[in-house]
């Protein structure tokens, strides 16, 4: 590969994050070369991506014999793990939604590939295992806007952090009366006011499960104890998160909300990218940045998830798996919006964690919770 060109593998290339990562790559063909792409089921889009970016390897879960891989003579069919291991893949963008990201994330970290992580569930359920690899020298770059903001504030600082303050838009249901939440439809829950994201994370933003996941992500990525991570509701999504240092000084990262910004930051790291994907921030036009406390009655999933996080072990794996099933059932109109929490709570309450935290234990808890959530639904 030519000098100065970074080889990139994108896992989950047809999802919202994967597509936006390719938008960044498309703008800087002299800086990036797509080495591998993977998708689960959107083979039509994957074929078009293969044609445009000519990756060396393609992995598709549902790829038939004459599928996307065969269309491009350069592309060979591979598994996701082979794709991660490809010698030209210096940076792996993890954009597979849900728990399925954990195994490829650990594999990439063990191979000491630089990982740009959008799949926060991998850290939610496997935080201790991921943190162990990072402590041993692996590089994990956050792509989540809040985690990226914290990372940007921390660069160049000694890690004497007093407090992390994560901002939350409050999601699509922030102004909906609490007593009406059981009538919320999937269409309403998917109408996010400020962010363009995948369906699962948008519903998680409506329950604020997503924000609890981001607290866990911040805890494991930046090594800050639970009691020093706070969340404040900020409906404009301009301040993406803040770090308070021991001297009382607070740094924040601001921009109009656009995932291509944190994606570009991770792709170009250690440099800062030059692509301007959002308008320049016009503070006079923004006029007002507002902040509110998080209302626990509106977002009971937030407290439940943090309880599971503090309990540790395989509790977060059970929580996440139950949430994945519950959100899927809600999107399929099989259960109501407030049933998501009810179902997740029952599964977490029933969960009996094993004695030691290993990948096998996590995957077993994940499988158990998925099955149990379906039985209880």
Nearest approach in angstroms of CB 373 to Mg ion is 24
Does residue 144 touch Mg ion according to CB under 5 A? Answer: yes
Minimum CB distance to Mg ion smaller for 46 or for 212: 212
Shortest CB 214 distance to Mg ion, Å: 6
Q: Which is nearer to Mg ion, 146 or 244 (CB)?
A: 146
Contact window for Mg ion (CB under 5 A) among 143-151, 224-232, 298-306, 360-368? 143-151
The residue whose Cβ lies closest to Mg ion is: 144
CA 374 to CA 369: how far, in whole Å?
9
In contact, 58 and 78? CB cutoff 8 Å:
yes
- Which CB sits closer to Mg ion, 195 or 269? 195
Check if the beta carbon of residue 295 is closer than 8 Å to that of residue 308: no
Stretch that binds Mg ion, among 63-71, 146-154, 321-329, 338-346 (CB under 5 A): 146-154
Query: Minimum distance from CB of 262 to Mg ion (Å)?
Result: 9
CB of 73 vs Mg ion, minimal distance in Å: 39
* 217 in contact with Mg ion (CB under 5 A): no
Residue 298: CB minimum distance to Mg ion, A: 18
Indicate the residue among 14 and 202 with the shorter CB distance to Mg ion: 202
3-state secondary structure the chain: CCCCCEEEEEECCCCHHHHHHHHHHHHCCCCEEEEEEEECCCHHHHHHHHHHHCCCEEEECCCCCCCHHHHCCCCEECCHHHHHHCCCCCEEEECCCCHHHHHHHHHHHHCCCEEEECCCHHHHHHHHHHHHHHHCCCCEEECCHHHHHHHHHHCCCCCCEEEEEEEECCCCCCCCCHHHHHHCCHHHHCCCCCCCCCHHHHHHHHHCHHHHHHHHHHHHHHCCCHHHEEEEECCCCCEEEEEEECCCCEEEEECCCCCHHHHHHHHHCCCCCCCCCCCCCCHHHHCCCCCECCCCCCCHHHHHHHHHHHHCCCHHHHHHHHHHHHHHHHHCCCCCHHHHHHHHHHHHHHCCCCCCCCHHHHHHHHHHHHHHHHHHC
When the beta carbons of 214 and 244 are compared against Mg ion, the nearer one is 214
Which stretch in 99-107, 145-153, 220-228, 250-258 sits in contact with Mg ion by CB under 5 A?
145-153
Please choose, out of 23-31, 142-150, 158-166, 337-345, the segment that lies near Mg ion by the rule CB under 5 A.
142-150
- CB 240, min distance to Mg ion, A: 8
Site string for Mg ion, 189-208 (x = CB under 5 A): --------------------
Pick the closer one to Mg ion by CB: 211 or 370. Answer: 211
What is the smallest separation between the CB atom of 167 and Mg ion, expressed in angstroms? 9
Binding of residue 328 to Mg ion (CB under 5 A): no
Q: Which is nearer to Mg ion, 69 or 257 (CB)?
A: 257
Q: Burial-class residue 195 by CB neighbours within 10 Å (0-12, 13-18, 19+).
A: middle
The tokens describing 152, both together, are: 């940007």
Scan residues 335-354 and list those touching Mg ion (CB under 5 A): none
Phi, psi of 235 (to 5 degrees): -65, -25
Please tell me the count of residues contacting Mg ion according to CB under 5 A.
Answer: 3
Interactions with Mg ion, residue window 111-140 (CB under 5 A):
none
Nearer to Mg ion, 155 or 196 (CB): 196
Minimal distance in Å, beta carbon 301 to Mg ion? 15
Closer residue to Mg ion in complex, CB, 202/314? 202
In the complex, the residues that contact Mg ion under the rule CB under 5 A are 144-146
């Amino acid at each position: 590969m030519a000098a100065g060109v970074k080889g990139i593998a994108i896992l989950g290339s047809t999802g919202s994050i994967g597509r936006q990562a390719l938008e960044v790559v498309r703008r800087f063909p002299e800086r990036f070369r797509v080495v591998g792409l993977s998708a689960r089921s959107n083979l039509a889009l994957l074929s078009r991506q293969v044609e445009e970016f000519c990756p060396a390897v393609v992995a598709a879960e549902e790829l038939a014999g004459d599928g996307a891989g065969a269309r491009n003579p350069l592309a060979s069919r591979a598994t996701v793990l082979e794709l991660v291991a490809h010698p030209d893949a210096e940076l792996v963008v993890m954009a597979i939604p849900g728990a399925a990201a954990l195994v490829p994330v650990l594999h990439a970290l063990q191979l000491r590939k630089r990982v740009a992580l959008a799949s926060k569930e991998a850290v939610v359920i496997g935080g201790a295992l991921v943190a162990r690899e990072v402590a041993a020298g692996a590089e994990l770059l956050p792509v989540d806007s809040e985690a990226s903001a914290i990372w940007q504030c921390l660069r160049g600082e000694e890690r004497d952090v007093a407090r992390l303050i994560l901002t939350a838009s409050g999601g699509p249901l922030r102004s909906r009366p609490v007593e009406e939440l059981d009538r919320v439809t999937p269409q309403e829950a998917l109408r996010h006011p400020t962010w363009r994201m995948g369906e699962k994370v948008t519903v998680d933003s409506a329950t604020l499960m997503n924000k609890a996941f981001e607290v866990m992500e911040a805890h494991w990525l930046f090594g800050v104890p639970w009691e020093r991570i706070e969340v404040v509701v900020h409906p404009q999504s301009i301040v993406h998160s803040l770090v308070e240092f021991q001297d009382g000084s607070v740094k924040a990262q601001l921009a109009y909300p656009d995932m291509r910004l944190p994606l570009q930051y991770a792709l170009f790291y250690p440099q800062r990218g030059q692509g301007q994907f959002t308008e320049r921030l016009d503070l006079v036009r923004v006029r007002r940045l507002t902040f509110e406390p998080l209302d626990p009655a509106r977002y009971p999933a937030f407290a439940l998830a943090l309880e599971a996080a503090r309990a540790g072990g395989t509790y977060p794996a059970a929580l996440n798996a139950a949430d994945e099933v519950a959100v899927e059932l809600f999107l399929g109109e099989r259960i109501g919006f407030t049933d998501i929490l009810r179902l997740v709570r029952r599964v977490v309450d029933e969960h009996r964690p094993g004695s030691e935290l290993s990948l096998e234990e996590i995957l077993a808890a994940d499988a158990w919770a998925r099955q149990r959530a379906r039985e209880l639904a």
